[in-house]
């Protein structure tokens, strides 16, 4: 099992958590982004830089992932595609996206996008909190433990 990270929007603190976990467990972790992602030298941590373009990194992740892999992203359409391929999806805030909640997330995303297109300022997400980081790390550790046991 591998970890695939949507590197374009991954907060640095979450990247650091992922890199430490990958080293600790020797889990192949790949950051995919349109720009270079600084990562430590490691046998199990990689970075793939894709060409600029709409959803280029997302498409690369979906093309490479396999059922059972973990995808780290806050991009709802990418999460939906990854779930369809049998991956587990975790946001940098520690939210688990799955078949039971992804439709509602897609609907909300589309609604918010239509509001923004009509000129409504919906603001952005709040800053990543300590609780978000803890929730993320807890879900990541649980996934890693399940991988080791199976």
The per-residue pLDDT for range 36-68, each reduced to its tens digit, is 999 999 999 999 999 988 889 999 999 999 999
The DSSP element (H or E) to which 96 belongs, if any, is strand 96-97
Q: Into which CATH architecture does domain 3-122+130-149 fall? A: 3-Layer(aba) Sandwich (3.40)
Phi/psi region, residue 40 (left: phi>0; alpha: psi -120 to 50; beta: rest), is beta
Distance between CA atoms of 104 and 106, rounded to whole angstroms? 5
DSSP H helical ranges for the chain: 12-25, 56-64, 76-84, 102-117, 130-149
The per-residue pLDDT for range 73-126, each reduced to its tens digit, is 999 999 999 999 999 999 999 999 998 888 878 777 677 677 677 777 767 678
Distance between CA atoms of 125 and 127, rounded to whole angstroms? 7
Angle at 46 between CA 32 and CA 143, to 5 degrees: 80
Distance between CA atoms of 108 and 10, rounded to whole angstroms? 21
Domain boundaries in the chain? 3-122+130-149
φ and ψ of 97, to 5 deg? -100, 130
Residue at token pair 């993320």 = 136
Predicted TM-score (pTM) above 0.85: yes
Distance between CA atoms of 36 and 70, rounded to whole angstroms? 21
Which pLDDT does position 145 carry in this prediction? Answer: 93
């Amino acid at each position: 099992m591998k970890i695939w990270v949507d590197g374009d929007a991954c907060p640095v603190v979450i990247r650091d958590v992922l890199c430490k976990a990958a080293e600790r467990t020797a889990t192949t972790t790949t950051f995919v982004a349109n720009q270079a992602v600084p990562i430590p030298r490691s046998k199990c941590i990689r970075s793939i830089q894709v060409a600029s373009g709409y959803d280029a990194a997302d498409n690369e992740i979906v093309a490479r992932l396999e059922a059972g892999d973990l995808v780290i992203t806050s991009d709802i359409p990418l999460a939906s595609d990854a779930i369809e391929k049998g991956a587990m999806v975790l946001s940098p805030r520690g939210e688990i996206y799955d078949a039971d909640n992804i439709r509602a997330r897609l609907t909300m995303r589309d609604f918010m996008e239509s509001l923004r297109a009509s000129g409504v300022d919906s603001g952005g997400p709040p800053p990543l909190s300590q609780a978000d980081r803890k929730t993320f790390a807890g879900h990541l550790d649980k996934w890693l433990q399940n991988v080791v046991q199976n």
